């Protein structure tokens, strides 16, 4: 069957426009971080916002006001977590992972790779994606808090960007 009735289709159209509008307002008020994937919590909020939107659109048991409140609560909770992370080192260490050095001066760090469950081919792939053909040309590969890998080419002088990276 293509649809149950015209009223159900009309509901989806009206609720889609309204819920989308509410979501846009919430995202504009909360700022860029609401859709950032800086860490696992940011990623979860992004997924939860999409899931909430789908639920509001397709589930008649969930009112638009309930969905709007869910959007607002997710944004508020993310804001609180980021605020507490800024003001409390202990809280930040509790909820956020640290970036991890996987390769240093062309040499794989086997212990770090095993701890982070990253394989040699995955590190090599990140190096290739950075346009580099040899590990020896790489100063560092860092597994970032969002799961991506940063590749830093060799340069003159110390690498000051590794100050907060766990070895």
**Angle at 50 (CA atoms; ends 29, 150), nearest 5 degrees:** 80
Tokens of 14: 């009206």
Residue 99 near residue 144, CB atoms below 8 Å: yes
pTM of the model: 0.72
Whether the per-residue pLDDT at 1 is higher than 70: the answer is no
**pLDDT (tens digit per residue) in 56-99:** 999 999 999 999 999 999 999 988 988 998 999 999 888 888 89
> How far apart are alpha carbons 143 and 146 in whole angstroms?
8
> How far apart are alpha carbons 31 and 43 in whole angstroms?
15
Bridge partners (DSSP) of residue 166 are 100
């Amino acid at each position: 069957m293509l649809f149950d009735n015209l009223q159900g289709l009309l509901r989806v159209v009206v609720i889609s426009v309204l819920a989308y509008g509410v979501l846009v307002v919430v995202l504009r008020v909360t700022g860029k971080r609401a859709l950032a994937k800086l860490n696992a919590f940011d990623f979860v909020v992004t997924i939860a916002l999409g899931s909430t939107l789908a639920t509001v659109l397709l589930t008649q048991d969930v009112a638009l006001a309930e969905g709007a409140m869910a959007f607002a609560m997710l944004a508020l909770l993310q804001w609180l977590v980021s605020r507490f992370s800024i003001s409390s080192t202990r809280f930040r260490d509790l909820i956020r992972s640290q970036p991890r050095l996987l390769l240093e001066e062309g040499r794989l760090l086997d212990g770090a790779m095993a701890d982070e469950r990253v394989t040699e081919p995955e590190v090599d792939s990140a190096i290739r994606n950075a346009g580099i053909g040899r590990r020896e040309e790489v100063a560092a590969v860092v597994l970032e808090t969002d799961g991506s890998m940063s590749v830093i080419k060799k340069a003159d002088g110390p690498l000051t960007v590794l100050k907060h990276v766990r070895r």
